[in-house]
Structure 1
Amino acid sequence: MLASYACTPAETRGRLYDENESAFRSPFQRDRDRIIHSSAFRRLKHKTQVFVEHEGDYYRTRLTHSIEVAQVARTIAGALGFNEYLTEGVALAHDLGHTPFGHTGEDALNALMKPYGGFDHNAQALKIVTSLERHYAEWDGLNLTWESLEGIAKHNGPVTLLRGDGPVTGDLPFALADYNARHDLELHTHASGEAQVAAISDDIAYNNHDLHDGLRAGLFTVAEICDLPIVGRAFAEVDRKYPGLGAERRRHEALRRVFGVMVEDVLITSRRLLQEVNPGSAGDIRMAGRPVIRFSDHLFNDLKEIRAFLFKRMYRAPSVVAMREQVTRVVEELFPLFMNDTALLPEDWREDVARAQSETELARIVGDYIAGMTDRFALETHKRLIG
């Protein structure tokens, strides 16, 4: 049962290119399925979160992370009366635009692309689903519904300011501004409740699994994270209920409770906010002027403490920093190599190169190609071409 403020298939704003809809799948179901069948989604298998792909088989990849986010998002969406298919689609697509080597690769590529409009993974995800996926006979991209595109573009909140004479788009990432000029996604408003659920589910998933991956990597110990809010209480509860439990089961039982605390807090807080806003439609949520899906202030402050610990002990751990330096060099050396010798690009990319009218257009093509690489392929390509 959908709430009055949920996005409904019957009220979708449609697709950029008209097509006949399915008799047995809703538009949002078809969006989700197209995302799952896309090449970019498959590549997430070999793109990592914090660790580089070859460092271990048990660490999260972008693919496993996206699946975990989608699972959390479906749970929250169902409990709050939102459309689960739309929520799931946005959750599955939210990381499609990530470069190889996680945020390290994105930082390196963004620095290289600064003279050409910069690089942003959310904008790149939109470009992938509207242009770079080229499998259908009648259009480039996946031809997703407006609601799915909106969710991908602004699930983290409005991305433009609104002044008296209209939205201010000067600081938008190039790929986002380029598409929005052709298909207005109303970037000055908040996204649908479904997209907001997908965004907070991303926070829930990575807060939990970064603790798990950091423990597995030996970057910190259980004793150290037991000093953190939420986490310490979870381990204490497990110890009371299961004294003498083995280390791996103890860790799993505690971290699943951390997961549960975050989900429950979002549900309680968001139900209260929805009652305050009292939206009668999905549009009311977009125009509410504030998010309606969020953590409580108390839990948000607890999570800030956890993130500060992870930043110091995991994201800036010496072994991680050393690898960051290596993979940054890979991106920094591949970009000028392709810019100076486009014959090194695969043949199907050279057609785009032939149509490029400027250095900026060429740089955008090279940036798209590097961004689409997996960790493994980027390392292999660098070794083959540079050594």
Structure 2
Amino acid sequence: MQADEMTWCNCFSARRYGMIENEKGIRTEYERDWDRIIFSSPFRRLQNKTQVFPLPEEVFVHNRLTHSLEVASVGRSLGKIIGKHLSTLPDVERNSEAKRFYKNNLKNVIAAACLAHDLGNPAFGHSGEEAISKYFKKRDTDSIEDKKFKGRFTPAEWNDLKNFEGNANAIRILTQQQKGRVKGGFRLTYSTLGAIIKYPCESLASERGRKHRKKYGYFKADEKVFLDIATVLKMIPDNSTKEISYKRHPFVYLVEAADDICYNIIDLEDSHRLGILSYEEVSTLLLAIVAKNKAENINAVKEQVEELKSDKNEALAYLRAKSINTLALRCSEIFIENKDAIITGDYENTLIEDIPELNNELKAINDLSVKKIYNYKEVVKLELAGFRIMSGLVEDFVTAALTPEKLRQKEHKKVLELLPSQFKFEESDTDYVKVLHMIDLISGMTDLFALKLYRNLRGIEI
């Protein structure tokens, strides 16, 4: 249990993970977080990772990188609006450091966290996550051989492996010290790290129906990292379970809202460009959202749309901007209305789901997306291909890593020779640590690299 309860004055920290003393410079610590992420290799690789649709040949659609940049843009706006409000709270007004943080820096924390929120996601969209776990799910049986195999891992370790989670992997990427790299990984501020942990619990505490425990936020190997972040940021323990679990950090709600806003709207725009949805379908859905913004003159919006209609992509881009603005403003208002429950850990919804007047409109978008976008033939084909590619790579590398050194065949040795130096393990490492090294490698691959390597290892391409 924390010695101090979380307040708006102590839930942030400019300290950097892995550093004893921060460097001085003209940029704030939170501006540096953004720069460290955007100049990193894992961030650059997002440009060749699928968001929803196959990477384009002719028509441009979003990838993980463009999605992350847009989420960061929305997140900065949310952070600015909320920061301005929180800076006027009586307790914050009396605390010069807190007032300065909310007035000037919350927007930078949320933007940086949004920028990094997808870093842990593997290639080929959500099928990549499931594919990484396939190797272990196949062995989760009651056969003597599989029971013996599972016995090489603790229950918590086994649960991590058979339920790979991109959110947990993001924290690992941002904080782990790889061979030949500096201590502390990206060395981000605790504030930015806390804003990324959407599910602040271990995998054994996961529980459907609980927003903050729907999935999990860290691998067992990174438990000390997570607990350090939770302690520094005064996060509130969740005492409803015996496993390690905390309530969400307040900033998480803003990062989550920015992500929710973007993928609800942007997938519609992409699907129109690809000819999956008609202009009428998309414009009707977006206009319905804008119409709920009392500050908008909906007739003026419709007139502008008519003027742009000769270029349907431009007309939808205009409606997309108006829709995102409507949702961002309402999410900000919902956060402010529920700020007391948020800071005490008693708020258990998402901001975008807590907008009553837009429930029907957002449900209509979700229903159409499931029916026509996520089940679109090319999307399904990509998911199936990605599933086979990623699960095949996991099987090759994990089998080689877990085969005892003296029993490794030439093929196993050759596979392990492909490991870059930062992913190599010690033979004395536990099986769990060895597997994580393999997953570190595979989850970081781009779609194209994973495809090429899979073809190489299968003898399809030399």
TM-score > 0.5 by shorter chain: yes
Task: Give the equivalent residue in structure 2 for 1:344.
Answer: 415
Question: What's the offset of the Cα at 1:93?
Answer: 0.7
Task: Give the equivalent residue in structure 2 for 1:221.
Answer: 278
Return closer, same or farther for 1:140/1:272 CA change in 2, 3 Å cut-off: closer
Task: Give the equivalent residue in structure 1 for 2:95.
Answer: none
Question: What's the offset of the Cα at 1:188?
Answer: 0.8
Task: Give the equivalent residue in structure 2 for 1:165.
Answer: none
Partner-residue secondary structure (3-state), 2:249 = coil
Task: Give the equivalent residue in structure 1 for 2:79.
Answer: 77
Counterpart pick for 2:111 among 88, 105, 127 = 88
Question: What's the offset of the Cα at 1:97?
Answer: 0.2
Letter paired with 2:336? R
Task: Give the equivalent residue in structure 2 for 1:364.
Answer: 436
Question: What's the offset of the Cα at 1:342?
Answer: 5.2
Deviating more after overlay: 93-102 vs 103-112: 103-112
Mapped contact 1:5–1:285 kept (Cα < 8 A)? no
The answer on 1:384 being equivalent to 2:449 is no
Counterpart pick for 1:211 among 253, 259, 268 = 268
Counterpart pick for 2:363 among 293, 301, 304 = 304
Counterpart pick for 2:191 among 147, 167, 174 = 147
1:184-224 CA-partner distances (Å, limit 9, x unpaired): 1245122133x321110011111111001111111121223
Partner-residue secondary structure (3-state), 2:120 = coil
Give the number of equivalent residue pairs. Answer: 365
Distance 1:382 1:227 in 2: 43
Mapped contact 1:46–1:374 kept (Cα < 8 A)? yes
Distance 1:231 1:55 in 2: 32
Alignment of 1:218-367 (within 5 A): 218-226=275-283, 228=285, 230-231=287-288, 238-243=301-306, 245-246=309-310, 247-274=312-339, 277=340, 285-290=342-347, 294-295=351-352, 296-338=355-397, 339-340=399-400, 341=412, 343-345=414-416, 346-349=418-421, 352-355=424-427, 357-367=429-439
Question: What's the offset of the Cα at 1:374?
Answer: 0.4
Question: What's the offset of the Cα at 1:124?
Answer: 0.2
Return closer, same or farther for 1:228/1:356 CA change in 2, 3 Å cut-off: farther
Deviating more after overlay: 91-100 vs 319-328: 319-328
1:75-114 CA-partner distances (Å, limit 9, x unpaired): 1111121411111111111000010011111121133344
Mapped contact 1:95–1:121 kept (Cα < 8 A)? yes
Return closer, same or farther for 1:65/1:134 CA change in 2, 3 Å cut-off: farther
Alignment of 1:100-111 (within 5 A): 100-111=123-134
The answer on 1:53 being equivalent to 2:76 is no
Mapped contact 1:197–1:293 kept (Cα < 8 A)? no
Distance 2:376 2:453 in 1: 27
The answer on 1:36 being equivalent to 2:38 is yes
Letter paired with 1:383? R
Letter paired with 1:99? P
Return closer, same or farther for 1:313/1:7 CA change in 2, 3 Å cut-off: farther
1:310-345 CA-partner distances (Å, limit 9, x unpaired): 011111112211221112111122221223325324
Question: What's the offset of the Cα at 1:271?
Answer: 2.8
Deviating more after overlay: 338-347 vs 60-69: 338-347
Return closer, same or farther for 1:174/1:229 CA change in 2, 3 Å cut-off: closer
Task: Give the equivalent residue in structure 2 for 1:121.
Answer: 166
Distance 2:190 2:391 in 1: 35
Return closer, same or farther for 1:8/1:335 CA change in 2, 3 Å cut-off: closer
Letter paired with 1:178? A
- Please give the TM-score of this superposition, normalised by the length of structure 1: 0.83
Q: Where does the alignment leave 5 or more consecutive residues of structure 2 unmatched?
A: 1-6, 84-101, 141-157, 206-211, 236-244, 292-297, 401-411
Deviating more after overlay: 69-78 vs 50-59: 50-59
Mapped contact 1:196–1:291 kept (Cα < 8 A)? no
The answer on 1:373 being equivalent to 2:375 is no
Partner-residue secondary structure (3-state), 1:181 = helix
Task: Give the equivalent residue in structure 2 for 1:166.
Answer: none
Question: What's the offset of the Cα at 1:171?
Answer: 10
The structure with more radius of gyration = 2
Letter paired with 2:135? L
Partner-residue secondary structure (3-state), 1:357 = coil
Distance 2:217 2:329 in 1: 38
1:265-291 CA-partner distances (Å, limit 9, x unpaired): 2123233333xx2xxxxxx84424116
1:236-282 CA-partner distances (Å, limit 9, x unpaired): 864434535312222222222222221122123233333xx2xxxxx
Return closer, same or farther for 1:36/1:356 CA change in 2, 3 Å cut-off: farther
Distance 1:129 1:180 in 2: 14
Question: What's the offset of the Cα at 1:384?
Answer: 2.0
Mapped contact 1:47–1:101 kept (Cα < 8 A)? yes
Mapped contact 1:99–1:373 kept (Cα < 8 A)? yes
Letter paired with 2:33? D
Alignment of 1:173-184 (within 5 A): 173=216, 175-184=218-227
Return closer, same or farther for 1:174/1:250 CA change in 2, 3 Å cut-off: closer
Distance 1:254 1:225 in 2: 9
RMSD: 3.2
Distance 1:305 1:55 in 2: 30
Task: Give the equivalent residue in structure 1 for 2:247.
Answer: 189
Distance 2:135 2:316 in 1: 41
Mapped contact 1:109–1:332 kept (Cα < 8 A)? yes
Identity %: 27
